[in-house]
Amino acid sequence: MLSFSHPAAAEPRILCFGDSLTAGYGVASGADYPSLLQQRLREKGFAHRVINAGISGETTAGGLRRLLGLLQQPPTLAIVALGANDGLRGLSTQEMKHNLSEIVRQLKQAGVRPVLAGMRVPPNYGRRYSDEFAAVFTQLAKEHQIPLLPFLLARVAGEATLNLDDGIHPNAAGYRQVLENVWETLHPLLP
């Protein structure tokens, strides 16, 4: 009987699972944070392969529905950066929390180490909603005992020079800062 080795299968993989902030909406190919993360890993001598599973407009409910397909070949680690579109649409924070909790549970069940990326909504949604929204990520990280990147867009949100004209999506310079935010949380988790 012949057997074939698949060296790529042994390669550790990092799944960047999110929405347009992961997909790289509005920037050139290679300027999104998953592409920059891949470059950083190679520069630092890590053999990890980064998979960009970002879809513009994705909500936590949509992410939950497509997760099973992404786990056919489970990654080593997953950065879960979902929730921004739930917030922009004013969806229930309890429903968002349920969906994110289920995503984390399924990742862990598949042997994947999840990292949760926190998100915030603009203040025009009202302080109560904004506070409840931001608290979901901290609560889930504690409940599931997983690493939390406190705010994916730290030092980017609200900075005109780091965002596209829509004021929501990072530009190429903004994504370089997003990479630093991700790297700060991710680097200590790498073998």
Residue of 19, 20, 35, 86 with catalytic role: 20
Residue of 32, 35, 48, 169 with catalytic role: 169
**Residue 20 among the catalytic residues:** yes
CB burial string 96-122: b at 16+ within 10 A, e below: bbebbbebbebbeebebebbbbbbbbe
**Residue 165 among the catalytic residues:** no
**Residue 169 among the catalytic residues:** yes
Cβ pair 178, 159 in contact under 8 A = no
Tokens matching residue 29: 């190919």
Q: With CA atoms as reference, report the closest residue to 116 among 152, 88, 80.
A: 80
Cα gap 87→60, rounded to integer Å: 10
Residue of 3, 144, 166, 187 with catalytic role: 166
Residues designated catalytic? 20, 166, 169
